[in-house]
Structure 1
Amino acid sequence: MPRKDPGPSVKDKDMYEALRDDGASKEKAARISNAAAGSSRSKVGRKGGRAGDYEDMSKDQLMDRARDIGIKGRSRMTKKELISALRNH
């Protein structure tokens, strides 16, 4: 059975569906597919590299990052759990 249409805010629906099939969250799939629609897919793949490793960040920095992207239950998480939640969001 086909999935429900992701809505008008998703610009590249094929990429969105492929990312969802690979296990990405709705938010992450929309973020990546919209970035690809705004430029080219190859440029999106080369983006990044500006942020450091999560292991090098303090717990406060990880908490701020988790708050920015809306991870629930972050106040009770350890540093290791925060890193896992950020990587899998």
Structure 2
Amino acid sequence: MAKTRPVSTNPSLKDPDLYESLRNEGYSKEKAARISNAKANPDMHPSQKGGKAPPYEEWTKDELFSRAGEIGIDGRSSMTKDELIKALRNH
């Protein structure tokens, strides 16, 4: 049986039901909030392809390390390039 969470009362969430659904699917709090708020905004289209940044596989390990530091990924100093990519994608 899937673990359910109580519906959030966070006033900054535009679609609390979608947020809770995404959290129950395993999304991080940050990612669930971004997706639910974007889908609730008629001017945003979260299902469309994003910007023009190259895929992480084309980044150098130093670039990945810097990005991981910007978003606060712990343990990045001992990670391989593949581990950094996985950590960045799962953040």
Q: Give me the TM-score of the superposition, normalised by structure 2.
A: 0.78
Q: What fraction of aligned residue pairs are identical, expressed as a percent?
A: 57
Where do residues 34-73 of structure 1 align in structure 2 (5 Å cutoff)? Answer: 34-39=37-42, 43-73=45-75
Residue number in structure 1 paired with 2:84 = 82
Distance in 2 separating the partners of 1:40 and 1:18: 22
Distance in 1 separating the partners of 2:74 and 2:88: 11
Q: Is the 8 A contact 2:5 2:20 kept in 1?
A: no
Unaligned runs of 5+ in 1: none
- Residue type of the alignment partner of 2:34: R
Compute the displacement of 1:6 (Å): 5.3
User: What is the number of equivalent residue pairs in this alignment?
Assistant: 88
> Considering only CA atoms, is the larger Rg found in Structure 1 or Structure 2?
2
Q: Is the 8 A contact 2:65 2:76 kept in 1?
A: yes
Compute the displacement of 1:64 (Å): 2.1
**Divergent runs of 4+, >6 A:** none
More helix by share: 1
Cα RMSD between the aligned structures? 2.1
Distance in 2 separating the partners of 1:57 and 1:47: 19
Distance in 2 separating the partners of 1:55 and 1:45: 22
Compute the displacement of 1:88 (Å): 1.3
Whether 1:16 and 2:19 are equivalent positions in the alignment is yes
Unaligned runs of 5+ in 2: none
Q: Give me the TM-score of the superposition, normalised by structure 1.
A: 0.79
